[in-house]
């Protein structure tokens, strides 16, 4: 979720965030199965190695996308936030799909936005 629930994930920012997350996934060996943005948050279904920890994946995604967005949209973001290098809120929600099929989760994510 975006810090202070600001509705910034639209247009080119949303497209750039998604592309950056795909780039991160390729770099670290994760597979993005589905991803969609809302105006103030993002959903993605991710396949990753069991030795990786979700908290580390989230940390990488938040850090790298924040740095990228401030580099590209610094003038816009400086009007939204009083402190530099802020974009995402501190928390996140993650769950494993367990008994629900990945197709069901993928359909849910793709219906967002």
Q: Could you tell me the residue range of the domain that residue 94 belongs to?
A: 3-110
The pLDDT of residue 3: 85
How many separate domains does the chain show? 1
The pLDDT of residue 85: 86
- The CATH code of the domain that includes 8 is 3.30.70.1290
The pLDDT of residue 16: 97
The pLDDT of residue 113: 59
| CA atoms within a 13 Å half-sphere pointing along the CA-CB vector of 105 | 18
What residues contact residue 105 under an 8 Å CB cut-off, 6+ apart? 34, 45, 97
The catalytic position among 28, 48, 73, 108 is 108
Residue numbers in the chain where pLDDT is lower than 50: none
Query: Is there a catalytic annotation at residue 108?
Result: yes
């Amino acid at each position: 979720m975006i810090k202070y629930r600001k509705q910034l994930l639209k247009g080119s920012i949303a497209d750039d965030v998604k592309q950056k997350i795909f780039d991160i996934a390729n770099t670290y060996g994760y597979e993005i199965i589905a991803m969609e943005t809302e105006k103030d948050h993002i959903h993605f279904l991710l396949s990753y190695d069991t030795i990786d920890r979700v908290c580390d994946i989230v940390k990488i995604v938040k850090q790298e996308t924040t740095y990228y967005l401030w580099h590209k949209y610094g003038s816009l973001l400086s009007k939204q936030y009083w402190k530099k290098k802020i974009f995402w809120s501190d928390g996140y929600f993650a769950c494993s799909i367990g008994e629900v099929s990945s197709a069901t989760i993928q359909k849910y994510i793709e219906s967002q936005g």
